[in-house]
Amino acid sequence: MKAIITGMNGAVGTALKTRLLAEGYTVIGWDRTAVPPNNHHAAKTFLQTTQPDVLFHLAIASQSTGLENEGWQINVEWSGQLAQLCYEQNIRFVFTSSVMVFTDDAIGPFTPDSAPDAQEGYGYDKLVAEHQVRAANPEAIIARLGWQIGDAPGSNNMIDFLAQQEVVRASEKWLPACSFLVDTAVALQSLIHATPDLYLLDSNTRWNFYEIATALNQLHGNSWRIEKTADFIYDQRMRDDRIHLPSLDKRLPTLA
């Protein structure tokens, strides 16, 4: 099979590319300098020329390229455009959204039936993008992701965050939605053949952030100073019985 990935140089994109190549896929990254997100004709031609079986739309407006209202154009309008083009050309469309469609005031754990409440910022962009994707492409797959866990600093993942803090203040009252990048990549690949719908991808079944940070610290040589707090109270976990990700203790045995 042939796959196109937008945002292939990001943390999730890199992990997904590695997974797909290992499974024998031909993988093509979307070059935004060659095919700009605001050029509908170029995007249509690119898809017609490459003829992928699936397009994974992971890209977000992470770095400015000078576009006017760039966050909205990339996060929202481009998502709807790609969803429509894939529907017209019979290409499976997998769009990654975020648990941040729920604010810190929402009450988790969340299910596919939970009503998102984001009204501003990145979470709102993703929520509006979900609506546009559904409207443009009834065959689309939408996957909400939590905080991703990599294996080293240097990208936008939990390890990077922990490594950058002089002291990690970790609340025992916060149960974050999170999963390891490698497990997220496997799940995203499996969704290619899933029934078109919204899916929630989360590996945290029962652990708080202090427990997770401590387990990761042990795995990475106890090089971080972890301070237990109770100042952030939030159950952010996501539940979806239709898709299975390995529980966190499979990769962090000290949690068991």
Average pLDDT score over residue span 202-228: 97
Confidence of residue 154 (pLDDT cuts 50, 70, 90): confident
Q: pLDDT tens, 59-87? A: 987 666 666 677 778 899 999 999 999 99
- 3-state secondary structure string, the chain? CEEEEECCCCHHHHHHHHHHHHCCCEEEECCCCCCCCCCHHHHHHHHHHHCCCEEEECCCCCCCCCCCCHHHHHHHHHHHHHHHHHHHCCCEEEEEEEHHHCCCCCCCCECCCCCCCCCCHHHHHHHHHHHHHHHHCCCCEEEEECEEECCCCCCCCHHHHHHHCCCEEEECCEECCEEEHHHHHHHHHHHHHCCCCEEEECCCCCCCHHHHHHHHHHHCCCCCCEEEECCCCEECCECCCCCCCCCHHHCCHHHC
User: What are the extents of the domains in the chain?
Assistant: 2-255
pLDDT band, very low/low/confident/very high, at 152 (cuts 50, 70, 90): confident
Residue 237, pLDDT score = 98
2-255: CATH superfamily = NAD(P)-binding Rossmann-like Domain (3.40.50.720)
